[in-house]
Amino acid sequence: MTMSLPSTQDIVDDLAFFDDWEQRYQYIIDLGKSIHGLPEDAKTPDKLVKGCQSSVWLESRVENGLVTFSVDSDAVIVQGLLALVMAAYNNKTPKQILDFDIDEYFTELDLERHITPTRGNGLRAIVAKIQELARRSIN
Amino acid sequence: MTLDVKALRAQFPILQREIDGKPLVYLDNAATTQKPQVVLDAIIDFYTTTNANVHRGAHFLSDEATRRYEKARDDVAAFINANGREEVIWTAGTTESINLVARGLGQLLKAGEEVVVTEMEHHANLVTWQQACKVSGGTLKVAPIFENGELDVDAFSALLNDKTRLVAFPHVSNALGTVNPIKELTAKAKAVNALVLVDGAQGIAHGGVDVQAIGCDFYAFSGHKLFAPTGIGALWGRKSVLENWPVWLTGGEMIADVTYQDATWGQLPNRLEAGTPNIAGVIGLGAAVNWFSELDLAAVQAHEQALLASAHEQASAIDGMRVIGTAPKKAGVMSFMLGNAHPADVGFILDRQGVAIRTGDNCAQPLMKKFGIPGTARASFSIYNTLEEVDKLYDALRKANMMLA
């Protein structure tokens, strides 16, 4: 899947530009809408990462040494957060994926509390799944 | 008499916090309540002055710790009007209390015997009985509820018969807020000689629980939903039932005589309390029930009802808002959907405005399925909430509605 997402640095700069949280969240929601989700029939249980607050589906392929993803969530803010994650991971090599400091990125975005292990939105689990996938394709 | 909410709030240090620069509006009380200073002090004081293990030390501190610990049992027994202190068994909370009974029932239940629960159960009062039935060959029957979240009492009654061994239902539904007619349900179950367990997790903090008046055999509750710490709760059980109930956890404290090959059990309450207990938690719970008992219960209940009434009234003015659970008798909880917005999104936007609610399946997946929704947003109120906070909830919801439209 091709996603026309800004780079992570652009996102960090864009979000820093807004002075209130509403604009920031609106930006995140819009970013989520800009990535295509999964068709309903592709949302199979094996792709489901279940959080107790919302559910997330993840599909991945490796082509020409690059990992590409399709993601979907039933919640629009989670979809937006997924877009932030995708900006970091989509169409990257496994090494680039493993080298990327996602916690630092979310801290820069001032969104670190959305990616704590305790958060029930499945985001942390998605990140773990992506990193595991990258690790396996290297070995 | 009206409740002095301002003075009450001043006793809860956490309510002074700001979240993202906005005053905390804590509306997740059905998940856990905040703790007043006197409870925090009791815990710190125990560790500061009295910490020792209970029941076994040959020294001053152990005696003092045991006295304070057992005094809390007296206080809790009085709080729920137990017939005696030995009817109060300390547990980690409601879930463990129900497990204690369900594990025992798994041994007592014969194939073909039945357990009855309701459609509005929290997983703690569902999975426990479902598993007890699985290990014993028993059958779980589920009494239906109406669309408004009220129990269908006639259908409930129709499930009862001479095979019914135990009936379990919530005092108050955590997801819907429905207050069940627990005396009436208990009387119906008793008419077929069934045991009755009331899941009091959401009922206890609304006050006035009188286990003798209810007539049930077990009442399970958590301390942390009653202004006490997490990790402590109680199972109240009728003495004649508890005396012979199969022990669940075995080990120290609960035995009478032990050889390498055999053991006999001690007396109540110890026979159902293995190992070193949560002593500080027990003392915190004792402090919490004593603190709560000092309040004017009628004023507390009137205040809670006023909060809930305001929340329901304002719901109708919000475009697309649908309250899940509109039984005539409700307490503490308002679950809702906001148009087509996912509850998790509603929760995010409210959180950003300092309003803390619960979102998700409310630990009641079959119930959510029945309503055809993935989960709800849930605002739940406690005695320290104000009508202004209900207004703030709605300010925040209007913003969420705008952003998520």
> What are B75-113's pLDDT values in tens digits?
999 999 999 999 999 999 999 999 999 999 999 999 999
Mean confidence (pLDDT) of chain A: 87
Indicate the burial class of B287 (C-beta count within 10 angstroms; 0-12, 13-18, 19 or more): buried
pLDDT at res. A1: 47
Q: Identify the weakest region by mean pLDDT among A128-137, B72-81, B213-222.
A: A128-137
What ipTM did this prediction achieve?
0.89
What does the block give as tokens for B196?
Answer: 């009755």
Domain B41-293: assigned CATH number? 3.40.640.10
**Pairwise CB contact (< 8 Å): A121 & B344:** yes
The closest of B2, B115, B35 to B280, measured between CA atoms, is B35
Chain A residue numbers touching B399 (CB-CB < 8 A): 22
Is B363 labeled as catalytic in the residue annotation? yes
Question: HSE of B258 in the Cβ direction (CA atoms, 13 Å)?
Answer: 8
B41 φ, ψ to 5°?
A: -65, -40
- Whether the pLDDT of residue A7 is over 70: the answer is yes
More confident position, A49 or B116: B116
What does the block give as tokens for B231?
Answer: 């990790």
Domains, chain A, in order of start with CATH, read 8-138 (3.90.1010.10)
Say whether the peptide bond before residue B229 is cis (omega within 30 degrees of 0).
no
State the nearest Cα–Cα gap between B19 and chain A, in angstroms: 13
State the nearest Cα–Cα gap between A131 and chain B, in angstroms: 25
Picking from B342, B347, B360, the nearest residue to A76 by CB comes out as B342
For the B5-31+296-400 domain, the top CATH level (class) is alpha beta
| Segments making up each domain of chain B, as ranges | 5-31+296-400, 41-293
**Percent of chain B at pLDDT above 90?**
94
Distance CA B92, CA B252 (A): 17
Do the first three CATH levels of B5-31+296-400 and B41-293 match, i.e. the same topology? no
**Pairwise CB contact (< 8 Å): A53 & B404:** no
The amino acid at residue A127 is V
